[in-house]
Amino acid sequence: MKAYLQLTKPTISFLFAITGMAAMLLESHLNATDPVRFWVIVFAIFLTGGAANAFNQYFERDVDKKMARTAKKRPLPQGLLTPFQALAFSLSGSIISTFLLFYYGGILAAALGVGTILFYSFYYTLWLKPRTPYNIVIGGIAGAMGPLIGCAAVTGSISWAAFIMFLIIFMWTPPHFWALAICCKEDYKSVSYPMLPLVVGDQETRKQILYYSFVLIPLSACLHFFIAGSVIYLLGSVLLGSLFLFGAYKVYHTTVIKTHWQFFAYSIVYLLALFGFLIADVMYSAA
């Protein structure tokens, strides 16, 4: 069971589900929300991300064997699952998540879920990642779909607030993964993936991390004006954003790999806490 959970990349899928849940709570205003339906949709969003990640690991199983980081952490290179089991899990997860999103959330939510799986599993994994150093930028579209799916599931449409949430995650993704790419540069080099540090160098990558961070912080604060809530989210976004920008500034001015790992780890905390503040704001305002 643990090996199947590892296939979903649980941390990433959990973040994906949290962003979708935040959009659901915001758009439903905590009113007339059937708890069973609500949690089934949240699970379906998690499973959407999990299925996409499982396909990713299935397609990259040979590459993962050659990379030190993934060879030790992923179930296929470790021999914990067979390729057939991984493929069956990926297909089953895709079918179940699509059915649940369609039945409980409607056709738009289901279509967005299917689009997320196809985009990440096939377009990003098989085409973008091996071909362009900006794979993370374009591929970030898939990881940012959680709020759009969540919003569509409770309203049947996409709101401006959900779109701003999408943009926040989209802008967060490159700094997050480029820090990792610098740390694992030799791994990516060994499998000929054209990650940005290998193509333009570490310092230019650090500069891009800083640039994206400068855009991310005001964009995150901007969401406050679309949610009609209290100042909880605004204050939280400013605090978290200041720490994020400080981390990006430190990364820009150092070659110490430990600093890049710290920024990578904090970026996960940042996104989780940011949407945590949003959920707290929605619940406080609705009380």
| pLDDT beyond 90 at 7 | yes
Residue 108 dihedral angles phi and psi, to the nearest 5°: -65, -45
What letters, b where the CB count within 10 A reaches 16 and e where it falls short, cover 232-266? Answer: bbbebbbebbeebeebbbebbeeeeeebbeebbeb
Q: What is the mean pLDDT of residues 90-96?
A: 98
Q: Compute the radius of gyration of the chain from its Cα atoms.
A: 19
Compute the average pLDDT of residues 48-65: 97
Q: What is the largest CA-CA distance in the chain?
A: 54
Are the C-beta atoms of 53 and 9 separated by less than 8 Å?
A: yes
Q: How far apart are CA 75 and CA 64, in angstroms?
A: 10
The half-sphere exposure of 124 on its side-chain side, counting CA atoms within 13 A, is 22
Distance CA 24, CA 28 (A): 6
So what's the pLDDT on residue 180?
Answer: 97
Helix (H, G, I), strand (E, B) or coil at 30: coil
Q: Which tokens go with 34?
A: 């059937």
- Tell how many helices (H) and how many strands (E) occur in the chain: 17, 0
- What band does 272 get if pLDDT is binned at 50, 70 and 90? very high
CA distance 172 to 259: 18
pLDDT of 31 reads: 59
Rounded to an integer, what distance in angstroms lies between the CA atom of residue 140 and that of residue 119? 10
Give SS3 for 34: coil
Mean pLDDT across 141-158: 97
Whether the Cβ atoms of residue 110 and residue 102 lie closer than 8 Å to each other: yes
* Helix intervals (H) in 74-159: 75-78, 83-105, 107-118, 135-143, 146-155
Q: What is the pLDDT of residue 259?
A: 97
Contact 182, 260 (CB under 8 A): yes
Q: What is the pLDDT of residues 225-236, one digit of tens each?
A: 988 777 999 999
From the number of C-beta atoms within 10 Å of its C-beta (0-12, 13-18, 19+), residue 181 rates as: buried
Distance (Å, rounded) from C-alpha 61 to C-alpha 244? 33
pLDDT of residue 29 exceeding 80: no
What pLDDT, on a 0 to 100 scale, did the predictor assign at position 33?
Answer: 61
Distance CA 259, CA 48 (A): 32
Q: What percentage of the chain exceeds 70 in pLDDT? A: 98
The domains located in the chain, with CATH, are: 2-286 (1.10.357.140)
Per the CB < 8 A criterion, the answer to whether 55 and 125 are in contact is yes
Q: What is the pTM of this model?
A: 0.95
Mean pLDDT of the chain: 95
pLDDT of residue 284: 87
On the question of pLDDT at 285 being above 90, the answer is no
Terminal-to-terminal C-alpha distance of the chain: 39
